[in-house]
Amino acid sequence: MVVPSPISFWTKKSRAVGIPTVDLSLDRETMSESIVDACEELGFFKVVNHGVDMEAVSRWEKEGAEFFAKPAPVKQRAGPAAPFGYGCKNIGCNGDTGELEYLTLHTNPASLFERSLTISEEPENFRSVANDYIEEVKDLACEILDLAAEGLQIGDKYAFSRLVRDAHNDSVIRINHYPWGKKKGGAPQWDQPSPKRIGFGEHSDPQILTLLRSNDVSGLQICTRDGLWISVQPDPNAFYAIVGDAFQALTNGRFASVRHRALANSARARMSMMYFGAPALDAWICPVPELISRGSPCLYQPFTWGEFKSAVYAMRLADSRLDLFKKVQPPSS
């Protein structure tokens, strides 16, 4: 069942509408239909009664808060993010910037081991907390992907989740910290987010599925297909699922990756945590056969995740990366 969630604020270029909510305590048919509806409508939905161990989430959030509270020179030892490690303001290598600092980590144990040595004075504990969080959110992501496959009536219900569960998957976790705006003298500069100060610019996620959870500070916005921005009410007890570019290709455009941004104009600091579920670098991304027909021809050329990832890194944040892999459709007769 899709239930609208309330919206707390909007600007002249945004509007208040309901965000779909998927309740994972309901029967599978209802859940799978709700997920398909939400992915087709917005490419974005709220997940409640998800079964994730929130203690594991809280411990990971605490690690992030403790890291960002450190002096800048200490944090910089964990950077620069290229692409993993600590970053501040610079997003990627093509000139994109934002009012934030962040930690980006690969979920691969070897990479996590190496990065933990520069992030924490207790790297073993840091890795343990990170791994507990990764397992929880990966399981949730895979459950959502399985339900999506069922809702699309795909014969192999693991067609999507198998890509993320692959031992060589390229999944990533990230913590974004958006400092609160201050005037001279330390007083808050803004009461509510507004597009005047962008924390993280407009973009779509290249991976299959993103799970996002933030503290109770607003700032996240998503863009509808008609170009209007929707402000998302934060809920620390829920996750938000975001359709990525790879998922759009896998579903032959049935699901559309959603463009979103974060506004950093809050009078309070905002911290968000993301899990980006991605396949192995050599995994092929192409529409599943059940979603191709005479009336729905294949929209995308097959590509590997590694090829797509290389294209992503060569482009600006707001660019439409999937356009590079669109098939030229023959004219209708």
What are the tens digits of pLDDT across the range 266-276? 678 899 999 99
- 10 pLDDT band, cuts 50/70/90, is very low
* Res 187: pLDDT: 44
User: Alpha carbon 18 to chain centroid distance?
Assistant: 19
Residue 38 has pLDDT above 60, yes or no: yes
- 81 pLDDT band, cuts 50/70/90, is confident
- 17 pLDDT band, cuts 50/70/90, is low
Name the residues annotated as catalytic.
270
Report yes or no: 250 and 206 within 8 Å, Cβ to Cβ: no
User: Residue 137 belongs to what H/E stretch?
Assistant: helix 123-151
User: Residue 87 belongs to what H/E stretch?
Assistant: strand 85-91
Whether the model clears a pTM of 0.75, i.e. scores above it, the answer is yes
Residue 14 has pLDDT above 50, yes or no: no
Class of domain 14-325: mainly beta
Exposure on the CB side of residue 289, measured as CA atoms within 13 A: 2
d(CA 296, CA 79): 46
Count the neighbouring beta carbons within 10 Å of the beta carbon of residue 198.
19
* Res 12: pLDDT: 40
- 181 pLDDT band, cuts 50/70/90, is low
User: Alpha carbon 201 to chain centroid distance?
Assistant: 13
What are the tens digits of pLDDT across the range 229-262? 999 999 999 999 999 999 999 999 999 999 999 8
* Res 54: pLDDT: 97
Q: Two tokens at 100?
A: 């934030």
- 318 pLDDT band, cuts 50/70/90, is confident
Residue 9 has pLDDT above 60, yes or no: no
